[in-house]
Structure 1
Amino acid sequence: MTAATVHTVQAAPTERSNRPLRLIALVAALVEFAFSGRYGFHRDELYYLAAGRHPALGYDDQPPLAPLWAGFTGLVAGSWPDWLELMLLRLPSALALGAIVLVAGRIAAEFGGSRRAQALAGLATATAPAVVISGHLLSTTIFDILVWSVLAWLLARWLRTRDDRLLLLLGITAGVGLQLKNLPLIYAAGLVAGLLIAGPREVFRRWQLWAGGLIALLIWAPNLWWQASHDWPQLQMTAVIREDADWGGRAGLLPFQVLLLGVPAAIVWATGLWRLLRDPAAARFRALGWAYLVVVGLVLATGGREYYPAGAYPALLASGAILLDGWLGDSVKRRRTVGWVAGISALSTLSLGLPVYPVSMLHATLQPAVNYDAGETVGWPDFAAQVAAVYRGLPEAERATAVLVAGNYGEAGALDHYGPSLGLPQVYSGHLAYWRWGPPPEGPGPVLVVGEGFEEADLRRECADVVHAATFDNGVHLDNDEQGADVWICRGPRRTWAELWPELRHL
């Protein structure tokens, strides 16, 4: 063995039993769970419930695990009140948030941080809007952040201990993550690039790393096969995401990171990145800093969503928490200042990220403007009820043969969920996976066309008679995506569904 290959194993982190960190994680998870039954289903959750009733190895826009969980909750809790079903549906998200907080603290421990540094890392993570908002819903985002955090922790631990069994765990974690969302590929690329840039490159000589990669591929293989056998719809989705960029697209990506974290946590994040890249004391873990820069570069190059790099935050917050811990020292004044800042940050995140207001007041707050998802959890029962009123207004003979078509997966999901109890027929849509669950049966009956994406001129080209039947109003003055949506009655279709259905598919 040459001197170049000698590695001194750093002493194990001290003070592993960290009650403050565990308390922060527990409170964060409990707060999320306490609010999980408020308002209503998000459009994505309604889509997941429908997808769960059509179990598959993959879907046009995502891997299968989140829809499969939703399908399970639909079986167990489908007859429960909405608020109770929501609490079950969102329970894994609340648990994932608590786990992210714990992992952030454990990364700080691997970096050599004290108990206080670990707690500060957990606190910064627990109050970051990106984590709190995504943890409120059954969303793939919160689990993606957890997967990235675990990958960072396992790599940091390997960098400290050189325990090659951790490389196998990296593969297992990545494989499970890829059954939830495809973004772990970006972080894996970032980590590989970081190791190539900053080292230690010896990791690429460890058979466990390659075996871990093979394990990840095997776990991911069923979804990969589904995508390949269905013409790679998720690759097609990347073009849609680029065209539908929020917050200024590529130009807004970097400034938006501050909004995702909040100003206090953003300061910890920025100093943590600096520490990983420049501080000699953190040289062992420099690959994690470079991984974040590579991830941001990849997201910029591909036109990805502004929240895509969020999974890399906990490692940077853990690094920054060590600097913050050193700055605090024994100063009572500084500790009080940090306490006040953390409290204000937590209250601000709660006010913008969780359903703390009466739904009738939501439109008058900043929350819908800052947090798009909040507005998408309001009004779905009323939406379905207003469509049902139009359907009941049809002559009885027409009701027997009527076809219901929705413009997007949220509208279709709401009609799927609430429609049976309202007497509505099965709903169809050309959006995402819904397109694969069609077309409607052929017949002469009228078509109720619901929601966004349909122009009157197009409907008149397809039907002999078109009547505008209703305009949706959520009743709480909230300007969300469905407010003002139209319901049309189309009679005398000029083409069969077999002819029309391929043209209705959209991503």
Structure 2
Amino acid sequence: MAATAAVALLLTINRYDYHRDELYFRMLGDRPSWGYVDQPPFTPLLIRLCAEVFGDSAWAIRLPGVLFLPAAVFLLALIAREAGGGAVAQTLAGTGALTTFALVSTHLTLTTGPDLLVWLGVVLCVMRASLRELPRYWLAAGLVTGLALYNKHLVILLLLTFAAGLLVAGPRKVLLSPWLWAGAGIALVVGLPNLLYQIANGFPQLDMAAALAENKGDEARITLIPLQLAWLGPFFVPVWVAGIVTLLRNPALRPIRALGVAYPLMLVLLFVIAGQPYYTVGLLSALFAIGAVPVARRVTRRWILVAGAAVNVGFAILMSLPVLPVGVVGGTPIPAINQGISDQVGWRRYVRQVADVYEALPAQDKPHTVLLTGNYGEAGALDRYGRALGLPDVYSGQNELHRFGPPPESATVVVLVTQGDPSRSPAFVSCEFKANLDNGYGVENEEQTARVFVCRGLRGTWADLWPGFQHFD
């Protein structure tokens, strides 16, 4: 199963183009830091490392996923084994890594890939500490948690809801274990530099969370429950439901039944704070692995398991990976369903279209021209491909890129890429429309609504105007 996962990623690793987040992380990695306003440093620095070692290309920075996905297969199988599952249950559990969310998160180098491994690792440690009565595994859980904070802070959501599950369903005595609190201390010490960065910078992650809640909060609440049925695929829903049921009913799993309670508590919490629906996937995958144990025992006709898993996995691969030719995929519903696919299409063409606008400028304007984009994907694409075309430096006000600083005061001409209306901006005297971006493949993504303008005449200095360009999203 792990080999199948690795081969699936290798066969598609270099199709299409970078994802917008990969382009953004590539820019962040060029400026190493203990943290950024919208995330910890691990994934941007991982991309920087891969680019330095293997070359600055999409396939090079995606190599870690070829290890992450098989690792998820093994972690899911180990979770099933801890729950009492044999070979069939462990194999079924491993297919949980060949599902939509896991495939997207490891085909692309995103923060969600390592985060999935972290959640599964913490759950495995909790199971071994509780079911085997080996309290030293609380220390391992703390170490994994502390390291995880350098990639994403979502593991705290798992710990909070698990602790609440212990209070609700027990066994409450676990909360008094010195081993558990020692593990919490390890997590705090290991993750302390990340916490200090947040304190020193005014907790920017809270600003980012507030922006997400404002921009996508209503959508997140509406899609929270429906997407739970989609993350692992419809054929696998009965399996993770069986995982919750067996945690609550099986006396042998009583020490970890708080995991079954943690999931509905997590849904309630995400609805209240308008958290993103995918935040549950790590726990959902673990519940799937646990549910594989009773399913493997009760479904005696193995062909049913094989057929159901094959259909689910085949559909997930088609929807998640760039299997179809880029000229064909735009005529299917896949880009509309999976934004991860649509956000890999068209970057070179977009950059070429911006370059055409720049090249048409009068020669005397070019030394005083900069590029300015509305989002980090456009900025990342121009940074990656623009230098070979002779384009000037690129700036953006989104997220961490705003902290990279304003353009120099000598920049009096701006080639602006935006989805908005620059005439409403107080920054420029005039903006002349030059082009609509078009990827040429019929794939709808954010850039298909973007336009290119040439703006002149600043209404002040860049230092004064730059705070107005800042936005979190």
Q: Deviations over 1:452-495 (max 9, x none)?
A: 2x313224x43333211111111111111101311111112121
Q: TM-score, normalised by structure 2?
A: 0.96
Instruction: Give 2:341's match in structure 1, choosing from 374, 396, 400.
Output: 374
Q: Report the CA distance between 1:244 and its aligned residue.
A: 2.9
- Find 2:236's aligned residue among 265, 269, 283: 265
State whether structure 2 residue 366 is matched by structure 1 residue 403. no
Determine the structure 2 residue equivalent to 1:26: 3
Q: In terms of mean alpha carbon deviation, does 256-265 or 439-448 score higher?
A: 439-448
2:449 aligned to 477, 484, 498, which one?
Answer: 484
Q: Which amino acid aligns with 1:381?
A: R
8 Å Cα contact 1:43/1:413 also seen in 2? yes
Which one of 87, 94, 112 corresponds to residue 59 of structure 2?
Answer: 87
Q: Which amino acid counterpart does residue 458 of structure 1 have in structure 2?
A: R
- Which of 315, 323, 327 does residue 298 from structure 2 map onto? 327
Tell me which of 289, 313, 331 is aligned to 1:318: 289
User: Is the 2:433–2:453 contact (alpha carbons within 8 Å) kept by the matching residues of 1?
Assistant: yes
Cα distance in structure 1, aligned partners of 2:21 and 2:32: 16
Taking the TM superposition and a 5 Å limit, the aligned residue runs for 1:198-213 are 198-213=169-184
Moved more, 108-117 or 29-38: 29-38
Q: Based on CA coordinates, which of the two structures has the bigger radius of gyration? A: 1
Question: Contact between 2:217 and 2:275, CA under 8 Å: does it hold in 1?
Answer: no
Partner of 1:122: 94
CA deviations over 1:46-86 (Å, ceiling 9, x no partner) = 0000000011111111100001111222333445xxxxx22
- SS of 2:434's equivalent in the other structure is strand
Secondary structure at the aligned position of 1:356 is classed as: coil
Structure 1 counterpart of 2:40: 63
Change (3 A) 1:229 1:246: closer
More displaced 10-residue stretch of structure 1: 43-52 or 162-171? 162-171
Instruction: Report matched runs for 1:104-503 at 5 Å.
Output: 104-123=76-95, 125-245=96-216, 248-329=219-300, 334-443=301-410, 445-452=412-419, 454-459=420-425, 461-503=426-468
Distance in 2 between the 1:480 and 1:247 partners? 21
Contact 2:21–2:377 under 8 Å retained in 1: yes
Counterpart code for 1:418? Y
Contact kept in structure 2, 1:444 and 1:493, CA below 8 Å = no
CA–CA separation in structure 2 for the residues paired with 1:248 and 1:232: 25
RMSD: 1.6
Distance 1:144 1:94 in 2: 15
Measured against aligned partners, the alpha-carbon deviations of 1:391-412 in whole angstroms (never above 9, x if no partner) come to 1111122101112111111111
Amino acid at match of 1:193: A
One-letter amino acid of the structure 2 residue matched with residue 134 of structure 1: S
In structure 1, the residue matched to 2:72 is: 100
Contact 1:444 1:492 in 2 (8 A): no
| Gap runs ≥5 in structure 1 | 1-23, 80-84
Measure the CA separation in 2 of the matches of 1:74 and 1:308.
29
TM-aligned CA distance change 1:484 to 1:204, over 3 Å: closer
Distance 1:466 1:243 in 2: 29
Structure 1 distance, partners of 2:51, 2:415, is 26
Corresponding residue SS for 1:181: coil
AA partner of residue 282 (structure 1)? L
The one-letter code matched in structure 1 to 2:186 is I
Give the stretch that moved more between structures: 70-79 or 55-64. 70-79
CA distance in 2, matches of 1:43, 1:387: 17
Q: Per the alignment, in what secondary structure is the counterpart of residue 276 of structure 1?
A: helix
Q: Secondary structure at the match of 1:483?
A: helix
> Residue 53 of structure 1 corresponds to which residue in structure 2?
30
**Deviates most, 223-232 or 61-70:** 223-232
CA distance in 2, matches of 1:464, 1:160: 68
CA shift digits 1:103-132 (9 cap, x unpaired): 111111111111211111112x03321212
Aligned length: 472
Equivalent-residue separation in structure 1 for 2:163 and 2:75 (angstroms): 21
Q: Which residue of 1 aligns with 2:470?
A: 505
User: What is the SS of the residue equivalent to 2:2?
Assistant: helix
The answer (yes or no) to whether the contact 2:99–2:317 under 8 Å persists in 1 is: no
Contact 1:29 1:94 in 2 (8 A): yes
Provide, for residues 21-69 of structure 1, a one-character-per-residue CA deviation record: whole Å limited to 9, x for no partner. Answer: xxx1221122123212110100000000000001111111110000111
Contact 1:149 1:312 in 2 (8 A): yes
Conserved? CA contact 2:93–2:292, under 8 Å: yes
Residue 179 of structure 1 aligns to which amino acid in structure 2? Y
**8 A Cα contact 1:103 1:153, kept in partner:** yes
User: Is residue 247–residue 256 contact of structure 1 (8 Å, CA) maintained in 2?
Assistant: no
> Partner of 1:45: helix, strand, or coil?
helix
Moved over 4 A (4+): none
Deviations 1:213-235 (A, max 9, x none): 12111222222222222221210
TM-score relative to the length of structure 1 = 0.90
1:127 and 1:462 map into 2 onto residues whose CA distance is 48
Letter in 2 for 1:88: A
Whether contact under 8 Å (1:33, 1:90) holds in the other structure is: no
Name the CA distance, whole Å, in 2 between partners of 1:317 and 1:171: 23
Which string of whole-angstrom CA distances, capped at 9 and with x for unpartnered residues, describes residues 133-173 of structure 1? 22211011121111111111111111122212211101110
Partner Cα separation in structure 1 for residue 55 and residue 402 of structure 2? 24
Amino acid in structure 2 at the alignment position of 1:477: G
